[in-house]
A = this chain, B = another copy of it.
């Protein structure tokens, strides 16, 4: 979720100057229209970057009409607050219909208290559960909840803070910033899980890359603007099926696919050598996994003709025949359609010590089913949470889980289609439909980006693999699998 959002978005000074004036006008207008609306806006701003958090809160107050937005910093509980249940202050400071309340920092506090031992696991879990119920109740009641999480890699923050300490900006940095950084370096997996668990339907966390301040401010402002204007325009949705699309930061510049290097190549000799080394290694690890009962679930997705089959074969070549199954997922059969879409994937989960490799997966719900309209918006929007919960159950049961998106350029795909058509034994693999799908390339890019950001975690990561060069891609997949398996084996009790 966090790592996956690090795609290197930036905005130049010139671009920033070009978009900001209109953005500010639009924001204030939206605020004005909101005053007569029958819903309030609860805006959470949190982040692993304390400095960015402060800057963004100031920015929002600068760009919007500060008279009609109340800012509340969710710091340590005051004496007054600590006499009541934890969320009393949220209720106290709740926006009325037509108003905006900006709540800064709350979710990090929960994590902080847990990591420092002030909030035992059981109470932490209950606090998360209450927060889910609270949000569901508010969303059902018509509240618009916008949740922005500002993410800057700790490495970048560390460097920036060291630099700042020695220049004019040094006064902005204090001990709390360093303490927070250290805490998060250990707690990132837990933070991601917290964000997943508190992303209820209709109120997901939107992760905004905060490395570049100009991009950050514009992305935050657009997220807020889009959410409010879309909601003002549409009918207030009944129940929790608020559109996630309300929350996309608009004309986002970079996606998770942009961060992929498609130029890498591998020569045949290196490939042969590395393939042998990696397959030998995988063979040994798979043996340990079988002996120690570690189950593995590998999920493969990718553009048509990206080479999923070839990559999967390079894995299975290293495994014993009885130790794995490859599940090719096609459109559901008539029988399968009688069940929830996750049912067939649950059915095929591996027993102890075995591999199941899914060639296309449950992610079809938020890819092809979303784009082709086979699933209603409410259906694919709630699927992110359902999928995260599914994979959490695998991880908690001790499974090794990894997900691969094999990425090729549109040009490379076209070249492969044409090559296939000219290869008699492969010509049947190309149909009209494959060409039609290419027209939806842009829709898929958006869907892939949302999918990866919302469902990647350190425990069940997405690996977006550049596959313009098949040999490079196969080696990279094997490297991820061996590395992931080693880690999973180390974590076994």
Contacts and interface: CB of A to CB of B under 8 A. Distances in A.
A295 B126 CA distance: 20
B94 A340 contact: yes
Contacts of A83: 293, 295, 350-352
Contacts of A295: 83-84
A393 B143 contact: no
A352 B293 CA distance: 52
A386 B126 CA distance: 14
Interface in A305-343: 335, 338-343
Interface stretch (A170-178, A219-227, A238-246, A443-451): A238-246
Contacts of A197: 129
A241 B125 CA distance: 26
A335 B97 CA distance: 9
Given A85-B394, A239-B241, A338 B40 contact: yes
A88 interface: yes
B85 A396 contact: yes
Interface string A339-364: 11111001101111000000000000
B92 A346 contact: yes
A397 interface: yes
A239 B84 contact: no
A382 interface: yes
Contacts of A129: 125, 129, 197
Interface string A114-134: 000000011101100110011
A301 interface: no
B386 A137 contact: yes
A32 interface: no
Contact of A382 (B140, B293, B378): B140
B133 A385 contact: yes
A238 B343 CA distance: 20
A86 B393 contact: yes
A65 interface: no
A97 B295 CA distance: 31
Interface residues of A, number: 59
A238 B341 CA distance: 17
Given A84-B349, A394-B85, A133 B338 contact: no
Contacts of A350: 83
A197 B132 CA distance: 12
A96 B295 CA distance: 28
A125 B238 CA distance: 29
A319 B122 CA distance: 35
A98 B339 CA distance: 10
Contacts of A51: none
A91 B386 contact: no
Interface in A157-187: none
A74 to B, nearest CB: 16
Contacts of A97: 338-339
A201 to B, nearest CB: 8
Given A122-B125, A239-B239, A335-B96, A340 B84 contact: no
A193 B339 CA distance: 30
Nearest to A241: B239
Interface string A276-294: 0000000000000000010
A80 interface: yes
B349 A96 contact: no
A192 to B, nearest CB: 16
A140 to B, nearest CB: 6
A462 B200 CA distance: 31
A392 B134 CA distance: 12
Interface string A192-235: 00000100000000000000000000000000000000000000
Given A83-B293, A133-B385, A137-B342, 12 more contacts: A40-B339, A80-B351, A83-B350, A83-B351, A83-B352, A91-B347, A96-B339, A97-B338, A130-B393, A134-B389, A138-B340, A240-B240
Interface of A: 40, 80, 83-88, 91-92, 94, 96-98, 121-123, 125-126, 129-130, 133-134, 137-138, 140-141, 143, 197, 238-241, 293, 295, 335, 338-343, 346-347, 349-352, 378-379, 382, 385-386, 389, 392-394, 396-397
A-B pairs with lowest CB-CB distance, top 6: A239-B239, A91-B346, A96-B338, A125-B125, A85-B393, A83-B352
18 contacts: A40-B339, A80-B351, A83-B352, A84-B397, A85-B393, A91-B347, A92-B346, A92-B347, A96-B338, A97-B338, A125-B129, A129-B129, A133-B386, A137-B342, A140-B382, A141-B341, A143-B340, A240-B240
